[in-house]
C-alpha cells in the first residue's frame, strides 16, 4: 500500500500485539464548525482513539442514522466543503501523528474527480477512505488512484453478504474490513448481538485483513464485548450525540474526550 496506509496497518497491528482491539472513532467534518470538528478529532485521539474516520457530510446519508444526519445538516448549513474535510484530516494528523481516514459516499468523489480527491487526501496525510456505497465491481478507477497515492480502500460488509460476496469484497479492499454489525442505518444499540460475531467469523475466513465492527457501540461494556471477537471497535453516533447534546462546544470536547477514554478502557478489557 505504501503512504499513510502503512501507518494504519502498523497501528492496527500494534493494537493486536498488545492483545487488544483498536478503537476507531467517527466524527463528521465541519461539525459543529470546521474548527470545532478539528478540535473534536484531536479530543478523541487525546482520549485514546487509535484511528479516526472523518465523515464527509452528505445531504442524503442513506446509511447514517438520525444523529449523524443531524450533524451533517449542521455542517452543510455551515457551508462545509471538501477542502474543509481535507483540512480536518491534515490538521488532525499533523497534531497527533495518528491515522485519519475519510468516510464518504461515492457521489461527492465522483463529482470532485477521483484523481484530484486521492491526490489531495494523500497530500493531507490521509490514510485512506471508507466507501460504504461503492460496489466493488465499479471500484477499479478508485482503487487504481488510491494505490498510486498510498491510500487504503476500506469496503463495508454486512450480515446479508454471502460468503462468495465477502471474498470478492475483502480481496479488493485494503487497510481493514468494516463490518456493519446490524442491518440498517447506524446508531447506538443496546446490544451488538451475535450477528456481528458471525459476520466477523465469516469475513475472517476470506482475508487476513483486520476486521473492525461498527454500527452500535456506545459504552465501554459494549466495546469490551466487540473487542472480544473483532480487531477494531468503531464508534460514531455516540460521540456525535454527546456533541449535539452539549451546552457548548467546550463541553462537547470534554464529553467526547471522556467517552474515548472510557471506550479505550473497554477495548483493553478493563471494565
Marked catalytic residue, from 6, 39, 60, 64: 64
- Burial tier of 179 (Cβ tally within 10 Å: 0-12, 13-18, 19+): buried
Marked catalytic residue, from 53, 72, 91, 262: 53
Rounded distance between C-alpha atoms, residue 58 and residue 206, angstroms: 32
Residue appearing with cell numbers 493494537: 15
110 in active site: no
53 in active site: yes
Provide the annotated active-site residues.
53, 64
Amino acid at each position: 500500500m505504501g503512504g499513510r496506509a502503512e501507518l494504519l496497518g502498523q497501528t492496527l497491528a500494534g493494537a493486536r500485539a498488545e492483545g487488544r482491539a483498536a478503537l476507531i472513532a467517527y466524527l463528521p467534518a465541519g461539525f459543529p464548525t470546521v474548527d470545532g470538528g478539528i478540535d473534536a478529532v484531536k479530543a478523541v485521539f487525546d482520549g485514546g482513539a487509535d484511528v479516526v474516520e472523518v465523515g464527509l457530510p452528505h445531504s442524503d446519508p442513506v446509511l447514517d442514522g438520525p444523529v449523524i444526519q443531524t450533524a451533517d445538516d449542521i455542517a452543510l448549513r455551515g457551508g462545509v466543503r471538501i477542502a474543509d474535510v481535507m483540512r480536518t484530516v491534515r490538521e488532525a494528523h499533523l497534531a497527533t501523528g495518528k491515522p485519519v481516514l475519510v468516510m464518504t459516499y461515492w457521489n461527492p468523489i465522483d463529482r470532485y474527480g477521483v484523481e484530484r480527491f486521492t491526490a489531495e487526501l494523500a497530500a493531507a496525510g490521509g490514510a485512506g477512505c471508507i466507501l460504504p456505497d461503492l460496489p466493488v465491481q465499479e471500484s477499479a478507477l478508485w482503487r487504481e488512484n488510491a494505490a498510486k497515492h498510498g491510500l487504503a480502500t476500506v469496503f463495508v460488509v454486512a450480515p446479508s453478504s454471502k460468503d462468495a460476496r465477502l471474498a470478492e469484497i475483502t480481496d479488493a479492499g485494503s487497510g481493514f474490513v468494516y463490518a456493519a454489525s446490524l442491518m440498517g442505518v447506524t446508531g447506538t444499540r443496546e446490544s451488538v448481538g451475535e450477528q456481528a460475531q458471525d459476520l466477523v467469523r465469516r469475513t475472517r475466513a476470506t482475508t487476513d485483513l483486520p476486521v473492525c465492527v461498527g454500527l452500535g457501540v456506545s459504552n465501554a461494556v459494549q466495546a469490551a464485548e466487540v473487542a472480544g471477537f473483532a480487531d477494531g471497535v468503531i464508534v460514531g453516533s455516540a460521540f456525535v450525540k454527546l456533541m449535539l447534546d452539549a451546552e457548548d462546544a467546550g463541553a462537547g470536547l470534554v464529553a467526547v474526550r471522556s467517552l474515548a477514554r472510557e471506550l479505550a478502557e473497554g477495548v483493553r478489557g478493563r471494565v
